[in-house]
Amino acid sequence: MAELTNNDVIQLLSEKFSHKISGVNEPYGLLTIETTKDVIIEVLAFLKDNSGTGFSFLTDITAVHYPETNHIAVVYHLHNMARRLRIRVKVFISEHTPTIPTATVLWNGANWMERETYDFFGVKFEGHPDLRRILNMDELNVHPMLKQYPLEDPNRVDKKDEYFGR
């Protein structure tokens, strides 16, 4: 099987979704792209089913909160096992309206990954068959991985960065 490189994937993606793909980067060799939430399922489906890309395996779904820009990034890791290539797809969504279409239409494994992301970041995956908390208790009324929730008593002073010259 011919080797698949990051450049091949970038080319295929930009032919299909030219203006919707941005932020192409290769940190430590792992191709990373950004896209928007209106085409995310199309992009994932293209990456999954197109024979040229073949990222048919969903490794992981998670999210990252960026309070400075009021964004939550939903991060998908896909894997082409046969040709040993990974890709990371990011979608930045507003933290005030954190909604994104569900990937359960493509992979069954997305079910629990999205439940976990919802539980910790409050990202609402539209169309998810069973979107409820998974690790935290149902009565919890916050999404604890958002950066505004401190780990411990915020009044502690022995761990403040300013005391360490930062």
Partner 1 sequence: MNNQPVYTDNDPQSELVTLNLGPTHPATHGVFQNVLQLDGERIVSGVSTIGYIHRAFEKIAEHRPFYQITPLTDRLNYCSSPINNMGWHMTVEKLLNIKMPKRVDYLRIIIMELARISDHIICNTIIAQDTGATTTFLYLFQFREHIYEIYEEVCGARLTTNIGRIGGFERDFNDIAFAKINKFLKEFPVALKEFESLLNRNRIFIDRTAGVACVSVEDALSYSWTGPLLRAAGVDYDVRVSEPYSSYEDFEFEVPVGTSGDIYDRYLVRNEEMWQSVSLIEQAMEKIKHEPAGVFHADVPDFYLPAKEEVYNNMEALIYHFKIVMGEIDAPKAEVYHAVEGGNGELGFYLINDGGRTPYRLHFRRPSFINYSMYAHMSEGMLLSDAIINMSSMNIIAGELDA
Q: How many chain residues bind partner 1 (CB under 8 A)? A: 42
Report in angstroms the alpha-carbon separations of 83 from 91, 92, 103: 25, 28, 23
Closest separation between CB of residue 94 and partner 1, Å?
A: 18
Closest separation between CB of residue 81 and partner 1, Å?
A: 5
Distance between CA 67 and CA 85 in Å, rounded? 32
122 sits near partner 1 (criterion: CB under 8 A): no
What radius of gyration, in Å, describes the C-alpha atoms of the chain? 18
Q: Which two tokens stand for residue 100?
A: 């994104």
Distance between CA 70 and CA 164 in Å, rounded? 28
Site track 4-23 with partner 1 (rule: CB under 8 A), x = hit:
--------------------
Enumerate residues 6+ apart whose C-beta is below 8 A from 139: none
Instruction: Write out the binding residues for partner 1, residues 39-58 only, by CB under 8 A.
Output: 56-58
Binding site for partner 1 (CB under 8 A): 27-28, 30, 32, 56-60, 62, 64-65, 75, 77, 81, 84, 86, 88, 107-113, 116, 120, 132-138, 144-145, 151-152, 159, 161, 164, 166
